[in-house]
Amino acid sequence: MIASDEYCVDIITQSLAIQKSLSSLDKLMVENHLNTHVLHDMASSDETKQAKAIEEMVNLYELTHVRGK
Model pTM greater than 0.85? no
Q: Which pLDDT value is given to residue 19?
A: 96
| DSSP letter string, 3-29 | TTT--HHHHHHHHHHHHHHHHHHHHHH
1-31 pLDDT tens trace: 889 999 999 999 999 999 999 999 999 999 9
- The per-residue pLDDT for range 23-64, each reduced to its tens digit, is 999 999 999 999 999 999 999 999 999 999 999 999 988 988
Q: Distance between CA atoms of 69 and 62, rounded to whole angstroms?
A: 13
When pLDDT is cut at 50, 70 and 90, the band that residue 67 belongs to is: low
Distance of alpha carbon 52 from alpha carbon 43, whole angstroms: 12
